[in-house]
């Protein structure tokens, strides 16, 4: 398979590329990423070393018209679209950027795939499109109505609807995955778990929104990657598949558990004002992907959390580069990845 992964320098996308190259050594992977703040340059180098001649990288926005030419030149068989602005707090401050990337960028990708033809398209979405659940509510199935509460979630819901409408209108080979909260190595430390770990290791306050009793459904990133691959290989066009390891926990409990693994005091916990329109609970029902496609998670929450904490403890240089804003700005501005050549038609 010749696979195009968009957003492949980000947290989940880079894990998926690593997984795919190891799982299918005869396949070719093209990574398209515009290298925003959340794409650590070390990740680009790591994937290039791993993939060798089977891997190509393009520094490009998914909204760029050159995407069509890349699909043609690389003879792409399938696209997995991770590219997205994802941080809820940032979406509250700047919704426009989320609309541009998550909706307009996705539309450009869908149209490019249709222009080239015969390309399987997996659009990676989120549980947040379903909105918030109450404590006693059943978990969301693929038939649960979309009810997003943040600009981020609304932009992802918009992209989902575009993908589904495109499939139905043009009969394109399009599938959607919706997953719960991911965690694991290489996650940008604006997200909850890496933020808790990094702050605790530096003996800094660990901020907790509101009362900390928001419920999230956690999955180790490798399990998510295997779920996406399962959908890519076995899924049915036009279908949505929830991916979850059914590990719902209170945020405050996850934070305390993480601090315990680091042998750090819970006195570091600092309660702060709650996020506007903060969803109280997310929970997905993964029965469809389990029964129809045979996917199962391999990591328990305890196993995945331990692996994650151990990685951040052993790789402090990686996340400290991100925490040092002056250094990281310089690093991003001066870093020149090995970029695959673009044809004259693209320039």
Q: Which residue out of 55, 152, 282, 299 is catalytically annotated? A: 152
Phi and psi at 227, nearest 5°, equal -65, -45
Select which of 127, 160, 173, 248 is catalytic: 127
Burial class (CB in 10 A: 0-12, 13-18, 19+), 119: buried
Report in angstroms the alpha-carbon separations of 148 from 82, 130, 154, 277, 297: 19, 6, 5, 10, 26
Identify the active-site residue in 28, 128, 222, 223.
Answer: 128
CA-wise closest residue to 229 among 75, 78, 112: 78
**CA–CA separation, 61 and 106 (whole Å):** 11
- For the question of residue 89 being annotated catalytic, the response is no
152 is known as an active-site residue: yes
128: annotated active-site residue: yes
Q: Give the Cα separation of 107 and 113 in Å (integer).
A: 10
Q: Where are the alpha helices (DSSP H) in the chain?
A: 11-23, 41-51, 66-73, 88-93, 95-98, 106-116, 151-170, 192-201, 221-234, 251-261, 287-293, 301-314, 316-323, 325-334
DSSP string, 132-175: ---TTSPPB-TTSPP---SHHHHHHHHHHHHHHHHHHHH---EE
Catalytic residues: 127-128, 152
């Amino acid at each position: 398979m010749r696979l195009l992964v968009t957003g492949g320098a980000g947290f989940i996308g880079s894990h998926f590329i690593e997984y795919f190259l190891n799982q299918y050594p005869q396949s070719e992977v093209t990574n398209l990423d515009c290298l925003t703040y959340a794409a650590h340059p070390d990740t680009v180098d790591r994937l290039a070393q791993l993939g060798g001649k089977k891997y190509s990288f393009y520094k490009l926005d998914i909204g760029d018209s050159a995407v069509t030419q890349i699909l043609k030149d690389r003879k792409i068989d399938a696209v997995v679209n991770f590219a997205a602005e994802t941080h809820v707090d940032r979406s509250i401050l700047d919704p426009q950027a989320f609309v541009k990337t998550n909706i307009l960028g996705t539309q450009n990708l869908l149209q490019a795939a249709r222009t080239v033809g015969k390309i399987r398209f997996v659009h990676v979405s989120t549980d947040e499109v379903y909105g918030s659940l109450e404590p006693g509510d059943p978990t969301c199935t693929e038939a649960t109505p979309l009810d997003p509460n943040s600009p981020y979630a609304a932009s992802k819901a918009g992209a989902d609807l575009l993908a589904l409408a495109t499939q139905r209108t043009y009969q394109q080979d399009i599938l959607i995955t919706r997953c719960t909260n991911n965690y694991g190595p290489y996650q940008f430390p604006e997200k909850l778990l890496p933020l808790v770990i990094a702050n605790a290791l530096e003996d800094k306050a660990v901020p907790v929104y509101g009362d900390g009793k928001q419920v999230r459904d956690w999955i180790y990133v490798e399990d998510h990657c295997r779920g996406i691959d399962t959908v890519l290989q076995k899924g049915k066009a036009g279908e949505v598949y929830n991916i979850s390891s059914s590990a719902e926990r209170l945020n405050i409990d996850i934070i305390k558990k993480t601090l315990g693994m680091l042998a750090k005091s819970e006195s570091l916990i600092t309660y702060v004002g709650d996020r506007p329109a903060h969803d109280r609970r997310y929970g997905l029902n993964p029965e469809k992907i389990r029964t129809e496609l045979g996917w199962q998670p391999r990591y328990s929450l305890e196993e995945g959390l331990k692996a994650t904490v151990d990685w951040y403890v052993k790789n402090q240089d990686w996340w400290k580069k991100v925490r040092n804003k002056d250094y990281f700005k310089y690093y991003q501005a001066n870093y020149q990845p090995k970029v695959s050549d673009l044809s004259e038609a693209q320039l």
